[in-house]
Structure 1
Amino acid sequence: MAAGHGPGRESGVTAVAARTSFASVLRLREFRALWLAELLSVCGDQLARVALAILVFHRTDSAALTGLTYALTYVPTLVGGVLLAGWGDRRSRRDVMVWTDLARAALVGVMVVPGMPLWVLCVLVAVMTLFGGPFKAAQQATLPEILTGEQYTVGMALRNVTMQSAQLVGFGAGGMLVAAVGPGVGLTVNAATFAVSALVTRFGVRYRDPVASAAEPGWRAFLRSTTSGARLVWQDTGLRTLVGLNWLAGFYVVPETIAAPYAATLGVGTATVGWLMAADPIGSVLGGIVFGKWVPERVQVRALGLLGVAAGIPLVLCFAHPGLVPSMLLFATSGLLATGYNIQGVVQFMRRLPNGQRAQGSGLNSTGLVTVQGLGAAAAGGLADLIGPAKTIAAAGTAGVAMAVPIALAWGRTRQPVTEPEGRAE
């Protein structure tokens, strides 16, 4: 999804204190390298999603196949993020990020070959997405080694705003670029961003030894590492509730996943597909500013559940079949409200994780988040073929509200704000 609900919303932020600024964390060389590498990748990914959505819809005229292809840019991350996340512990995390970026650059480069069969394209998309899981796990595990205390909070704030902005540029410019020169150019640009990201990471982030050495080899250690995060989250009521809150994105991602067929029902051109996809990131950027700077943390913590419910209501209004501009306003409003619960929800989730299991726990949350968005995209595509895109979006909003109500009630019972993150992992 727009990042607003995808791999870019996994970052949290509280109100930014004056003594630590965005500029101050950007002066840290390693953080600056990771930030820039992620920014490049996100821009390229969003451009590629527009290109793939338009390419598949034009070739098949099927909302179901469009939604399925879009889902393949999310779902395999679960396998990569859960089963392959151990690479980030058993290998140098910097090297994991570099090699997975290079692999993704090569896979996207093959997609550009003219006349690529649709099934081959889907396989390439799935494998490319698979490598996103270990990349994200290694990146998330590296950040606490670079940023500590308030720097970590402010760094996450900066990532939230800039990655949402990158998605906005990728979707908005992507629709116009693909309309002008074709999907192949968009995919070529995406391959180049992965390659540049690998170079920035290789020369901007210092080498660190693996944290899990050969002293604990074998499949048993691998399986323990894979399942420890799931056990931790499942056994803690507060963590389970926060995961459920973040995973509401599976419903709220729907407008951008079927933007191409939705635009067709509105009778608008190809270039507007990107702008429909960009509406949620626009709201997310505004939400990052509103909740990151102006709403006190204690208010955000209390309002988490209510914001989860409220984010679905604008989508319910699509039952009325609004036009292009009203639709964009509704999608942006949903994105703004969803950012409100996601920002503080991720902060509270990360601060509740024990230091020694923070990477595994956060990896489960983020890969699950990506996966539920993929499942939502696949389901939305099939449903849109049956009842139409507008009713599908409204149905997704209704289901999201229904799921958010018990989550909000559970949060009210388990709410226990944690305002100071634990120190850096040794």
Structure 2
Amino acid sequence: MSDRTEEAPSRGRRLLGSIVVDGRPLRIAGFRRLWVSSMVTAIGSQLTAVAVPKQVFDITGSSAYVGLTGAFGLVPLLVFGLWGGAIADTVDRRKLLIVSNTGIALTAAVLWAQAFLELNSVWLVLGLLAVNQAFFAVNMPTRNAVVARLVPEHLLPSAAALTGTMNTFGAVFGPLAAGALMPVVGLSTLYLVDTVALVVVLWAVWRLPPLPPLSGQVRRAGLRDIVDGFRYMAAQKVLLASFVVDIVAMVAGMPRALFPEMAERTFGDPPGGGLALGWLYAAIPVGAMLITLTSGWVSRVRRHGVAVVVAICVWGAAVAGFGLARSLWLAVVFLAIAGAADMVSAIYRMAILQSAATDEMRGRTQGAFTVVVAGGPRIADLTHGWVAAGTGTAVAATGGGLLVIVLVIVATLLLPAFWYYRAAADERAKS
């Protein structure tokens, strides 16, 4: 009787462990500090992400000026994402995190000051946004490159899932918090909350161990380092394929530029916006968050290449279904499925980048990853908007989703090493 009683809880714990997020990486003090600091940043940065376009619109009354926030944010991400990744491979990554986090905090503080003093200069706001995003573009690949130095290889998928949990939590609840706080405390206070959060992040990063290059050579990064990074990624077929399939998924398949028109003309929102628009924007992050909260199984999958290809095909099929949907809730379900598939793809692509790249190139691969993640959806906004203007939103979304499936299959056939890629067996996992 006692044996059966003991066996049942054991089976229950195993079942629960295969469902809920795998928290083993959080037992590692360095990763735990990095993760907590990233969680604080994710929420705080969303406050600023809402406050900047709102302040620009308040100053100008023009959506055209609000559109400029995309350009002022994208260009620094493209330039400094690549350069920041090269720097992360040539210096102590802990020190670089401290410098870049300090830069982000200072720009957030100046954003608060100009809003509090009501300077009402749109070019000052846009300029500060560009500086903020430049520091962020250096910080992000550095932060991602640090993970493989802190976490053993067999736990990298679990670490990626935990990072995804933090990012999606910020994407869902950060804007909600901003919307709730703004009428109560005012727009400028959002910048102040972000600044305080970033000071907490600095303390957590300060407590990380030193992370110099494994070669022991600390030096300046230049254009040659960036070029060497591209050559390395081009020669590594698995890494190259991971970028190609992600670009395909985002550029051909990200339908967010269609949300405003579909919310009003397909799902019946009033001209000023309504429930449908909010649900369309929230659906993809909600689906992603559901995956991260039930990701206990991710470390058991060894065929990472297969997992990415299948997940992106599901993403494409779900986006195609969204384009055909005429019911709001069916559209939301399709988008949530797409978000879940995208998160599965992201978890294994991040694990591949962490394990397949050498440490001396890891910063540059993460820099390229940052550029793809930031740039792909913005290019998709442009292409989907143009196609929808000529053919309609249903054709743009459905055609884009189906194109994702076709192009991913073609890419896999041209780069078969990606399909056969397996996670390296870690003997420590067996012990």
Q: Is TM (by shorter chain) over 0.5? A: yes
Once the two structures are superposed, residues 404-424 of structure 1 have per-residue CA deviations (whole angstroms, 9 ceiling, x without a partner) of 422223325331122227899
Hey, what does 1:8 align to over in structure 2? Answer: none
Hey, what does 2:79 align to over in structure 1? Answer: 79
Once the two structures are superposed, residues 367-405 of structure 1 have per-residue CA deviations (whole angstroms, 9 ceiling, x without a partner) of 33222234434666x759x949x9568625633542442
Amino acid at match of 1:225: D
1:416 lines up with 2:424 in the alignment = no
Instruction: Please report how far the alpha carbon of residue 291 of structure 1 lies from its aligned counterpart in structure 2 after TM superposition.
Output: 6.0
- Judge conservation of contact 2:212–2:218 (CA < 8 Å) in 1: no
1:351 lines up with 2:352 in the alignment = no
Hey, what does 1:143 align to over in structure 2? Answer: 147
Once the two structures are superposed, residues 225-252 of structure 1 have per-residue CA deviations (whole angstroms, 9 ceiling, x without a partner) of 2222211222233322211122223455
- CA 1:153 to 1:238, structure 2 compared with 1: closer, same or farther past 3 Å? closer
Tell me how far apart the structure 1 counterparts of residues 70 and 255 of structure 2 sit (CA, whole Å). 11
SS in 2 for 1:417: coil
- CA 1:123 to 1:152, structure 2 compared with 1: closer, same or farther past 3 Å? same
- Judge conservation of contact 2:22–2:295 (CA < 8 Å) in 1: no
TM-score with structure 1 setting the length: 0.78
TM-score with structure 2 setting the length: 0.77
1:226 lines up with 2:229 in the alignment = no
Hey, what does 1:207 align to over in structure 2? Answer: 210
SS in 1 for 2:424: coil
Tell me how far apart the structure 1 counterparts of residues 87 and 225 of structure 2 sit (CA, whole Å). 10
Instruction: Please report how far the alpha carbon of residue 59 of structure 1 lies from its aligned counterpart in structure 2 after TM superposition.
Output: 5.5
Tell me how far apart the structure 2 counterparts of residues 317 and 48 of structure 1 sit (CA, whole Å). 33
Instruction: Please report how far the alpha carbon of residue 299 of structure 1 lies from its aligned counterpart in structure 2 after TM superposition.
Output: 6.9
- Judge conservation of contact 2:289–2:340 (CA < 8 Å) in 1: yes
SS in 2 for 1:131: helix
Hey, what does 2:121 align to over in structure 1? Answer: 117
SS in 1 for 2:85: coil
1:193 lines up with 2:194 in the alignment = no
Instruction: Please report how far the alpha carbon of residue 168 of structure 1 lies from its aligned counterpart in structure 2 after TM superposition.
Output: 1.6
Tell me how far apart the structure 2 counterparts of residues 42 and 378 of structure 1 sit (CA, whole Å). 26
RMSD: 3.9
Q: Which moved more, 1:95-104 or 1:143-152?
A: 143-152
Hey, what does 2:240 align to over in structure 1? Answer: 240
Matches within 5 A, 1:261-280: 266-267=269-270, 276-280=280-284
Choose the corresponding residue for 1:310, options 302, 309, 314.
Answer: 314
1:284 lines up with 2:285 in the alignment = no
Hey, what does 2:403 align to over in structure 1? Answer: 402
Once the two structures are superposed, residues 35-89 of structure 1 have per-residue CA deviations (whole angstroms, 9 ceiling, x without a partner) of 1111111111222223334444566565554444245444422211212333324
- Judge conservation of contact 1:149–1:422 (CA < 8 Å) in 2: yes
Tell me how far apart the structure 1 counterparts of residues 395 and 75 of structure 2 sit (CA, whole Å). 23
- Judge conservation of contact 1:74–1:371 (CA < 8 Å) in 2: yes
Q: Which moved more, 1:154-163 or 1:310-319?
A: 310-319
Choose the corresponding residue for 2:340, options 327, 336, 350.
Answer: 336
- CA 1:91 to 1:300, structure 2 compared with 1: closer, same or farther past 3 Å? closer
The percentage of counterpart residues that share the same residue type is: 20
Tell me how far apart the structure 1 counterparts of residues 189 and 278 of structure 2 sit (CA, whole Å). 15
- How many aligned positions are there? 401
- Judge conservation of contact 1:352–1:418 (CA < 8 Å) in 2: no
- Judge conservation of contact 2:157–2:348 (CA < 8 Å) in 1: no
Choose the corresponding residue for 2:130, options 126, 142, 145.
Answer: 126
- Judge conservation of contact 1:96–1:138 (CA < 8 Å) in 2: yes
Amino acid at match of 1:405: V
Instruction: Please report how far the alpha carbon of residue 335 of structure 1 lies from its aligned counterpart in structure 2 after TM superposition.
Output: 0.8
Instruction: Please report how far the alpha carbon of residue 318 of structure 1 lies from its aligned counterpart in structure 2 after TM superposition.
Output: 5.6
- CA 1:189 to 1:62, structure 2 compared with 1: closer, same or farther past 3 Å? same
SS in 2 for 1:207: coil
Unaligned runs of 5+ in 2: 1-14
- CA 1:156 to 1:139, structure 2 compared with 1: closer, same or farther past 3 Å? same
Instruction: Please report how far the alpha carbon of residue 331 of structure 1 lies from its aligned counterpart in structure 2 after TM superposition.
Output: 2.8
Hey, what does 2:10 align to over in structure 1? Answer: none
Hey, what does 2:188 align to over in structure 1? Answer: 184
Amino acid at match of 2:93: R
Hey, what does 1:249 align to over in structure 2? Answer: 250
Tell me how far apart the structure 1 counterparts of residues 369 and 69 of structure 2 sit (CA, whole Å). 23
Once the two structures are superposed, residues 203-234 of structure 1 have per-residue CA deviations (whole angstroms, 9 ceiling, x without a partner) of x2123445576x6756xx62332222211222
Hey, what does 1:91 align to over in structure 2? Answer: 91
SS in 2 for 1:281: helix
Amino acid at match of 2:180: M
- CA 1:302 to 1:150, structure 2 compared with 1: closer, same or farther past 3 Å? closer
Instruction: Please report how far the alpha carbon of residue 129 of structure 1 lies from its aligned counterpart in structure 2 after TM superposition.
Output: 0.8
- Judge conservation of contact 1:175–1:275 (CA < 8 Å) in 2: no
- CA 1:377 to 1:410, structure 2 compared with 1: closer, same or farther past 3 Å? closer
Tell me how far apart the structure 1 counterparts of residues 89 and 411 of structure 2 sit (CA, whole Å). 34
